Chain A
Amino acid sequence: MTEQNTFRSVLCRLCRENKLAVFSAGVILLFVVLAILAPVLTPYGYDEIVNAANRLAPPSAEHWMGTDEVGRDVLTRMLYGSRISLLVGIVPTVVSMLAGAVLGILAGYLGGRVDSIIMRLADIMLAFPSMLLAMVIMYTLGDGIINIFLALALVNWASVARIVRAETLKLREAEYVEAARSIGVGRFTIMRRHILPNCIPSLIVLFTLNIPSAILSESSLSFLGLGIQKPMASWGLMVNTGRQYLYTNPWLSLAPSVAIMLIVLAFNFLGDGLRDVLDPHLKKQ
């Protein structure tokens, strides 16, 4: 990272220039705290049928968001659902960023056959409508949260690789890289020491902008019944089951939808703010 992009200065500029981004960071932090403290915050279990007689109850003092179709506390399931959403936002994004960055740098720096194999593969992955690709992967792998991580990572690595490769191509010609090459620094050392660190600002921005799209993908998959399975609580799954009661108990599907929207919006605002501060030339994409 260059000097002007030290962690503290970025934070300062973000605070000064984009209050909304800072606020969004606060919202995200709040979600994280709620997700971690879920068992402490609620007396019920996420799969605990609290009141079998009182199904589909409207909001009340004991159940702030009412109960669902089998009599579970909705707020509890919302809290546990935030764990899934955050995990699904972060884990596959980290994996796809790592894979994308490594492959992108290899393709960009080594060029030749490595480049064309990696990039053709990326082209093929990018040709699929992402939702359909994720569906096929989920079909192949079967249900389960680990498989969702895998599916989303597989869907997302290609776009990261493409951006990192473009950056690497630019950096490869930079003078300090040529200088390093001329004094005999090895290829892999150059990639690790000189290329990767300079890609980090772009990667951070991509990271914050890929999280919300991963969250949306998971909720869509779960909404279709191809993602998280009962009795686990995922917001998308809650919308799916709540949908049958849309006309009688709209909050059942509305509450998790709003939660998804809020967290996605928060990540998007933060990503936008970071992009403006960190990496002006990413703006065009």
Chain B
Amino acid sequence: MSNIIRRIGQTVVILLGVALLIFIMLRIIPGNAIVTMMGEHANAEAIERMTAELGLDQPFYVQFWRYITGVFSGDLGTSYSLNRPVGELIATSFPNTARLAIAAALFAWVLGIVCGIIAAVRKNGILDHLFMGVSLLGVSVPVFMVAMVLQYLLAYKLDLFPISSGNAGAIGYVLPAIALGWNSAGSIARLTRSTLAEVLQEDYIDTARAKGLRRLPVITRHALRNAVLPVITMMAVQLSSLLSGAVICETVFSINGIGRLAVQAIEGRDIPLLQGTILFSTALVILGNLVADCLYSLLDPRIRKEV
């Protein structure tokens, strides 16, 4: 138990660090944020009023303290450019990103793990070489390329899917999910293959075969459970890269998600919004890490004991 508590403590520290880092980075930009925001021609009085209103005349640590206490009470500030609470904007766009990321993750996991298993079982066979070649291609293509090729071929030429996913419902998420999951599928396939191939060399696999288990149950009951452990740690890493890729995917397919919100924030020089979206996404990744850690220790009795 103490291990998990310590881990949660670490997570809180990292979260605070992340918040502080974002806060500092967005406040060392050259030029006054307010001026850039309100335009060159705003009169001095208005600028002063706005500065006071936003608390930007306060010392740095007071500003940070206010921001952090705000975050903990659910207040992420107000967007300059959209003139709405940042929390509200994130709440409306997050479900779209979540749908996209979950669909992409499902695609990536199913495809990656199945291909990884087949490649490992048929190691050095034709399928192995094929899958590993394709998976390296998978990790090497830029997200926007997959997205645009899919969009051009399947949505524009063949008209099978909507070009823009904004209001298209579930079907609109098929192409973005594939485009986004493609990269992850490649790395998951490669990792699954290497860990499973290693596990299949272990003595306990021979023991399981010697018991009279057929090939398939040996893999599903004995090998996978051991091979999946490193793959789970990868889950959190994947979450991070999915959120990175989502920025691109949402732009290409016009999905109103967190990533697009961040791009809008940058284009509108909207510090509270940018700050909110980045903090939110990073918090998601950190929580994902925590969940992966807990899951890992649940699945591996050797670690569970220590917990």
Contact = CB atoms under 8 A, between A and B. Distances in A.
Interface of A: 120-121, 123-124, 127-133, 135-137, 139-140, 142, 212, 216, 219-220, 223-224, 226, 236, 239, 243, 246-247, 250, 253-254, 257-258, 260-261, 264-265, 268-269, 272, 283-284
Interface residues of B, number: 50
Given A124-B18, A247-B156, A265-B140, A142 B244 contact: no
A63 B30 CA distance: 42
A231 to B, nearest CB: 20
A246 B145 contact: no
B247 A135 contact: yes
B224 interface: no
Interface stretch (B169-177, B210-218, B280-288, B291-299): B280-288
Nearest to B258: A132
Interface in B1-41: 10, 13-14, 17-18, 21-22, 25-26, 28-30
Contact of A226 (B17, B266, B282, B285): B266
Given A247-B152, A283-B194, A140 B25 contact: yes
Contact of A265 (B22, B136, B149, B289): B136
B21 A124 contact: yes
A265 B281 contact: no
A243 B93 CA distance: 24
20 contacts: A124-B14, A128-B240, A129-B241, A129-B282, A132-B247, A132-B281, A133-B278, A140-B25, A140-B26, A216-B142, A236-B142, A239-B142, A239-B144, A239-B148, A246-B151, A247-B152, A257-B144, A257-B148, A268-B140, A284-B194
B264 to A, nearest CB: 11
Interface of B: 10, 13-14, 17-18, 21-22, 25-26, 28-30, 136-137, 139-145, 148-149, 151-152, 156, 194-195, 230, 240-241, 243-245, 247-248, 251-252, 259, 262-263, 266, 274, 277-278, 281-282, 285-286, 289
B137 A265 contact: yes
Given A127-B282, A129-B241, A243-B252, 6 more contacts: A124-B17, A128-B18, A129-B285, A142-B29, A224-B247, A226-B266
